C-alpha cells in the first residue's frame, strides 16, 4: 500500500521544502526533500506531452524556505457587551454590527 505524502499550501517550520506547480500556479510544502522530490517527479511527468515539454508550462522550481515570521492577528479585542444602538462601546470604539472582534495584523515569530 502506498503511503500518502503530507503537504501544506503554506510553509511553517516543519513544512519548509517546496515545489512550485506551474500548471496550478501554486506552491506545495513538504516535511522533507524526499517527499518533495517524489511529488515533483509525478508533476514533471504530467507536464510531458508525448515526451515533449508542454508549451504552456513556463516555470517549475523547488527549494527550501526558512520561515521565521507569519502575518497574524495582533492586539485582538473581542466585541464587548456594552455596544449601543449606534455601534459604539463604552470606550468610544465604533463596531460594525457584524464584527465579533477588532485587531491589527503584524509579523509574529513562529
Domain boundaries, the chain: 17-64, 69-109
Query: Does residue 84 have a pLDDT over 60?
Result: yes
pLDDT band at residue 1 using 50, 70 and 90 as cut-offs: low
The 10s digit of each residue's pLDDT in 31-69 is 999 999 999 999 888 888 777 888 888 788 899 998 788
Report the percentage of the chain scoring pLDDT > 70: 97
Whole-angstrom distance, CA of residue 84 vs CA of residue 94: 9
pLDDT of residue 24: 80
Q: CB-based burial of residue 11 (10 Å sphere; 0-12 exposed, 13-18 middle, 19+ buried)?
A: buried
**What integer is the mean pLDDT of 2-18?**
90
**What integer is the mean pLDDT of 58-86?**
90
CB-based contacts of 95, cutoff 8 Å, min separation 6: 79, 83, 87, 88, 89, 102
pLDDT of residue 103: 93
Q: Which of 98, 91, 32 is nearest to 64 (CA)?
A: 32
pLDDT band at residue 89 using 50, 70 and 90 as cut-offs: very high
Amino acid at each position: 500500500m502506498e503511503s500518502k505524502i503530507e503537504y501544506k499550501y503554506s510553509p511553517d517550520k516543519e513544512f519548509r521544502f517546496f515545489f512550485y506547480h506551474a500548471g496550478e500556479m501554486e506552491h506545495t510544502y513538504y516535511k522533507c526533500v524526499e517527499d518533495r522530490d517524489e511529488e515533483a517527479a509525478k508533476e514533471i511527468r504530467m507536464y510531458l506531452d508525448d515526451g515533449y515539454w508542454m508549451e504552456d508550462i513556463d516555470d517549475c522550481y523547488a527549494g527550501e524556505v526558512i520561515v521565521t515570521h507569519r502575518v497574524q492577528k495582533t492586539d485582538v479585542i473581542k466585541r464587548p457587551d456594552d455596544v449601543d444602538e449606534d455601534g459604539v462601546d463604552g470606550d468610544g470604539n465604533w463596531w460594525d454590527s457584524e464584527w465579533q472582534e477588532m485587531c491589527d495584523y503584524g509579523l509574529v515569530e513562529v
